[in-house]
Structure 1
């Protein structure tokens, strides 16, 4: 429950969840694990898109293909036959709308096995392939428009889209793109292929970087002819923890065809679920919270960015697919509170780097979904995403943590949608399992609003905001997320295994005006 533990001269000590106070006076002893937070409110370090936190629905779910088996059958390929995705569910729409504006990516492994009715695909497409009907495509488009999403669609770069010589055939996509443009469907980005560097594992075929670049030129010409306002993305290369690419593709492709792209997309998961036959970092609840593992995404992000700078400087870099664990997510980990600590930290890291879009796999579907696809109950990461969406704006401020080595991360943004100019919001994450971390806050005005998110354990599914359970209303609506008002905030004691957003409406940050 929330309780006030002490009143201090000069400010009100606000209560928190548990048996100690979150807010402390600077006159009280500061623990050895304390950190001092510095924020430059006069500068913008990076700027992200208003759709920064975006989501995906796997095309296997969309068309009713084979997705990750919930019955613990391991294997490189998804094997569970699923019904076509029901975009009409009111609860799903309500939950999705609360995350708008965002992109909805329709992609995944089976994007390179899917053919399109609009491009002339017959009803019977044969074993191992899937057909995107006009009706299903219209359902995708209508859903996106209704909830405030724009679309990223991954075009088939696989065998079914190639002629007898193995060259990609533009006719395989022309009909779909032309119909989408004529109908006004909200497709902003056409991505060519999914995880080209692991084609041998997923499709038993190697597409060389040079051949992919040649095919990409055909896609570029096709878009110039049919959808000149759309952007072209690729190669959606997968990076694994510790290993990186595994099969080197990205650098060689960028040298051959990086100048063709508007957007460089890459994929990263910090671990692999039990379903993956090969793992460099097997998923376990809480393991993803080790500071070195949290920081590893910066290593691969820097490689992607540096290579882009050399061979495709005109292109933006988007983290085009990510989740807590590859291969459908890990039950008991990807859908638990520990994942939310990882998720908030990763969002902060990628925003700080200036990558404008992060696509979360998935909106629903698999153990890594923000929403349980069967019950439509929000998973913990949904609530973390909702708070990020409501509080963290597009401008990122330079932030440094000093004095102390505590396992805490901090990110500062201009506040999203704040009526008063100059407002700043912090995202703070403490991944230590037992120790609270004292955060000495900069002077950002006389008042703050605290949004403290906790759970009974990292493996818990139920989470609280300022001591109150986060849940849909009795009518099934997404609730308001209200912060606790704080006077004269000075020192925040962040609980173990917890994250918080702190908004300073009177920060008067010149970078946020």
Structure 2
């Protein structure tokens, strides 16, 4: 057996960020795409779009409860490209009101027609949120009243009515925050040219509506688009003039590129691939300092599934996907972001869950999200590993330190890596995740197949997946695997 030796050093005093204090760091999304959405010849949204999904499916609720168990509540974002084509209905007693469903329309900015969203469906969503112990972020339609002329003012009347309904039905108790528009701002807006001045006015209007209709706990989030710093400078200047502030700055990015890329898996398995993207995040922190009154806004990765346009089948829903996912979770945690919203909980080929003929199954990234959310909390601290084949991240809790190590080394090069933790500690808890193949959708945690309990009323405990080890400073991590190591009695 060939071994590679590396030393990990932890600086517990150098705190880079704090996460998972007031809300979870790992959040997940539900999107609006209809059954007719086809990406690169693959129809991966059948039965999983927000208006089509069976929200009473026992396995869906069980999986959501499992993810939520890492915090006092889970966090679900409802939104996506088609949120700006949704019509809010308040009269129909049916689950689906007309027009339904979204129909392909090559002349529209989104590629689809509009769709109706009924009060009955909102009640079903609320029941799902309550059963799953989730709070939700809702993406509002920012194009209402100006689909054919983006110079017009936003028509906020239906948003007012919607928020009043949420308050009346007590669904507002589950409301964590509101977003306005999805990927419609700046040079990266999709088929929309909203000026920064108009957009700032819209957010100011929404803030006023929120003050009247909702409690002060509900957050205003934005801007939910890939970064355009020139536009953002103008936007925040206008917000200042309007005496309006956001509660968090959310942005979107799919750094792996399109899901059609046949070399996607090779990108994921390159430990240096995200180095350039990591520097891109640093630029955001530098730019934020010039936003004056907004310079201390919490930063969120508001949406990413790695590869855009539904991901790639047999890549972003397989074990290999966990390598980009965990790597980015660690990068964003180190770089002062307070949340990371994964596209999607279910839907597309990048879901944490997969619908297969009415059966919902966990994809490997479900377990990556569950373990990261359960273990990586509080103070994100500096960690250094000399070997570039591994990525390592660390957090410090009151009585322990948790290390995440991702082993990118290939089996043809090494069977196992031996890592020495430079710092002393008393004992550790370990969760090592492996799979028989990179393109498998089955994972093993400490050699045991990861699966949800057969009884949908039960959820797994994180303690079910760890083993306890005393007096072991050396970590043995198989090639193409990752592990969480919780060190107690750290010195």
TM-score class, shorter-chain normalisation, is: 0.7 to 0.9
Give the deviation of 1:201 after TM superposition: 6.9
Q: Note the alpha carbon deviations across 1:78-133, whole angstroms, 9 max, x for none.
A: 99996622211111101100111221100000011112114999944597111111
Aligned residue for 2:74? 102
Give the deviation of 1:181 after TM superposition: 2.2
Give the deviation of 1:483 after TM superposition: 1.9
Question: TM-score scaled to structure 2, two decimals?
Answer: 0.84
In structure 1, runs of 5+ residues without a counterpart are: 1-18, 21-30, 240-244, 276-280, 416-420, 509-513
CA 1:422–1:67 in structure 2 vs 1: closer, same or farther (change >3 Å)? farther
Q: Find out whether 1:299 has 2:299 as its counterpart.
A: no
Question: Equivalent residues in 2 for 1:225-236 (5 A)?
Answer: 225-229=212-216, 230-236=218-224
Q: Note the alpha carbon deviations across 1:392-435, whole angstroms, 9 max, x for none.
A: 2222122222xx333211111135xxxxx411111110112233
Give the deviation of 1:138 after TM superposition: 1.6
- 177-186 vs 188-197, which moves further: 177-186
- Cα distance in 2 between the residues matched to 1:232 and 1:282: 38
Aligned residue for 2:17? 46
- Cα distance in 1 between the residues matched to 2:66 and 2:326: 17
Q: Find out whether 1:143 has 2:125 as its counterpart.
A: no
Aligned residue for 2:472? 489
CA 1:283–1:53 in structure 2 vs 1: closer, same or farther (change >3 Å)? farther
RMSD between aligned residues: 3.1
| Kept after mapping to 1: 8 A contact 2:92/2:119 | no
- 328-337 vs 293-302, which moves further: 293-302
| Kept after mapping to 1: 8 A contact 2:250/2:299 | yes
CA 1:355–1:71 in structure 2 vs 1: closer, same or farther (change >3 Å)? closer
| Kept after mapping to 1: 8 A contact 2:189/2:225 | no
Q: Note the alpha carbon deviations across 1:4-24, whole angstroms, 9 max, x for none.
A: xxxxxxxxxxxxxxx78xxxx
- Cα distance in 2 between the residues matched to 1:130 and 1:302: 39
Aligned residue for 1:393? 377
- 380-389 vs 441-450, which moves further: 441-450
- State the number of aligned residues: 454
Aligned residue for 2:110? none
CA 1:470–1:391 in structure 2 vs 1: closer, same or farther (change >3 Å)? same
Secondary structure of 1:196's aligned partner:
coil
Match of 1:219 among 206, 210, 221: 206
Aligned residue for 1:72? 41
CA 1:474–1:143 in structure 2 vs 1: closer, same or farther (change >3 Å)? closer
Aligned residue for 1:184? 170
Q: Note the alpha carbon deviations across 1:129-169, whole angstroms, 9 max, x for none.
A: 11111111122222222212111011111254679862101
- 125-134 vs 310-319, which moves further: 125-134
Aligned residue for 1:12? none
Q: Note the alpha carbon deviations across 1:19-43, whole angstroms, 9 max, x for none.
A: 78xxxxxxxxxx6x53322212345
